[in-house]
Chain A
Amino acid sequence: MKDVKVLGPGCKRCETTEAMVKAAAAKLGIEVAVEKVTDYAEIARFGVVSTPGIVVDGKVVHAGGLPKQDALEQWLRA
């Protein structure tokens, strides 16, 4: 079970990112627990400056803007 966090205060891009993560996981048949982190303090603690950001199993893999589809699948597989 992969633990994925989507960091973002709740703008449209953040919601799109969350949907992309879920869709990619479903496509790959990987079980994920997706959590949205909207608290600014918590986002800052990850060291992320630009949202949306993505954290996979506690590691920041992406920040600022929508992720690329192939990169996203790579993070989920790793």
Chain B
Amino acid sequence: MSTDTLAGRHDGPKHDPLRPWLAGLAAGLVAWGLLYSQLVPLSEWLVAQLPVERTSHLGSALAFFFYDTPKVVLLLTLIVFAMGVVRSYFSPEKTRALLAGRREGIGNVLAAGLGVLTPFCSCSAVPLFIGFVSAGVPLGVTFSFLIAAPMVNEVALGLLFGLVGWPVALTYLGFGLAVAMVAGWVIGRLRLEGWLQGWVREIHAGGEAAIPDAQLGFVDRLRLGLDAVRDIVGRVWIWIIAGIAVGAAIHGYVPADLMVRIMGADAWWSVPAAVVMGIPMYTNAAGVIPIVEALLGKGAALGTTLAFMMSVIALSLPEMVILRKVLTLPLIAVFVGVVGSGILAVGFLFNLLFQ
């Protein structure tokens, strides 16, 4: 894209603040594309500089590491930027207004979708939960939102798309949303409002806080995208390196026939085992995808691998500790049980579908 065509579209004032941003964006995309197309030669060149046999276990692990690290960082930057811009159109307050008083069923569907799109940091989970429930969002619908948000992780989705392929990425999206909708609906049917911590039920929030809607221009939204990149990539890079290192070790050292025996489609017990193993493991989605990629490459069954991934991302101990403040233990048990069963079902179904 040349700057001439950009300039031609804007006949407004001379110093359109959008113009330098669009030019920068175009330049960034070109640089991104160039780098991305050179990943294989770059990684092979790096391995060739080291005193390691390329065909050895170590050589193969190193090639995986040098190829995946820049690739994941590039993909992550692009995804986080795009999501940062899209998310600037949503806010938890708007989402709550959309969901308040919504009937179950349609509400669960809407909540799951909004769970993916609404930005909120994990330390907001409790105020968000209280805010939703006290504003008249049904408990089951609130859960659909809270399950979808971590389960269908945009970073995981984008990286799956780039590293493993679009069929897997789309199926992950579809099943993740399905688990959030169905699990929330089931929790709603169980009528568990009485299992909230007592003080939560007594709060009737002061209704809508009339927060003046900040008027955001498109430049502000692009800036928010950049902020998201700085914030998220700055925070998760260590998880990415760790995840890729584990993936590289699997790629270089684990024999394929062992993997097929442990995590292959014939080993039915590996699906529940993968879910249970995933609960105490807590890593960022960006860190778990390189492991997924390496596992699949060695012949692990898709369902088993995805069950492991979803369990790591969606069922985490730290989050349960936070939720403990508003939910009683039986309710947390129901939450883990329902979401865990959903993930199990996805795992078995995938193993059947993609054999």
B and A form one assembly: yes
Q: Which residues of chain A come closer than 8 Å to B127, judged between CB atoms? A: 7, 9, 40, 43-44, 48-51
Determine whether the beta carbon of B210 is less than 8 Å from that of A60: yes
Determine whether the beta carbon of B124 is less than 8 Å from that of A50: yes
Shortest Cβ distance from residue A2 to the other chain B in the assembled complex, whole angstroms: 18
Shortest Cβ distance from residue A52 to the other chain B in the assembled complex, whole angstroms: 9
Majority-rule SS of B interface residues:
loop
B71 contacts chain A at the CB level, 8 A cutoff: no
Size band of the interface chain A makes with B: 20 to 34
Closest to B94 in A: A49
Are A47 and B124 CB-contacts (below 8 A) given A64-B91, A64-B92? no
Closest to B207 in A: A47
B199 contacts chain A at the CB level, 8 A cutoff: yes
User: How many residues in B have their beta carbons less than 8 Å from beta carbons of A?
Assistant: 29
Per-position binary interface string of chain A over residues 31-67, scored 1 when its CB falls under 8 Å from any chain B CB and 0 otherwise: 0000000001101111111110100000011111100
Shortest Cβ distance from residue A44 to the other chain B in the assembled complex, whole angstroms: 4
Which listed residue, B93, B134, B210, touches A64 by the CB 8 Å rule? B93
A23 contacts chain B at the CB level, 8 A cutoff: no
Closest to A43 in B: B127
A71 contacts chain B at the CB level, 8 A cutoff: yes
Determine whether the beta carbon of B211 is less than 8 Å from that of A45: no
Bound complex: CA A41 to CA B130 (Å):
8
Closest to A13 in B: B121
A11 contacts chain B at the CB level, 8 A cutoff: yes
Q: Which residues of chain B come closer than 8 Å to A11, judged between CB atoms? A: 121, 123
Q: Which residues of chain A come closer than 8 Å to B208, judged between CB atoms? A: 47
Are A9 and B126 CB-contacts (below 8 A) given A44-B134, A45-B203, A63-B211? yes
Are A48 and B209 CB-contacts (below 8 A) given A41-B203, A71-B214? yes
B325 contacts chain A at the CB level, 8 A cutoff: yes
B27 contacts chain A at the CB level, 8 A cutoff: no
Q: Which residues of chain B come closer than 8 Å to A43, judged between CB atoms? A: 127, 130
Are A50 and B209 CB-contacts (below 8 A) given A41-B203, A43-B127? no
Bound complex: CA A9 to CA B91 (Å):
19
Spell out A's residues near B (CB within 8 Å).
7-11, 13-14, 40-41, 43-51, 53, 60-65, 68, 71
Can you list 19 A-B contacts (CB < 8 A)? A8-B123, A9-B123, A11-B121, A11-B123, A41-B203, A44-B205, A47-B206, A47-B208, A48-B127, A49-B127, A50-B121, A51-B121, A51-B123, A51-B124, A63-B211, A64-B92, A64-B93, A64-B119, A64-B124
Spell out B's residues near A (CB within 8 Å).
91-93, 96, 119-121, 123-124, 126-128, 130-132, 134, 199, 203, 205-212, 214, 325-326
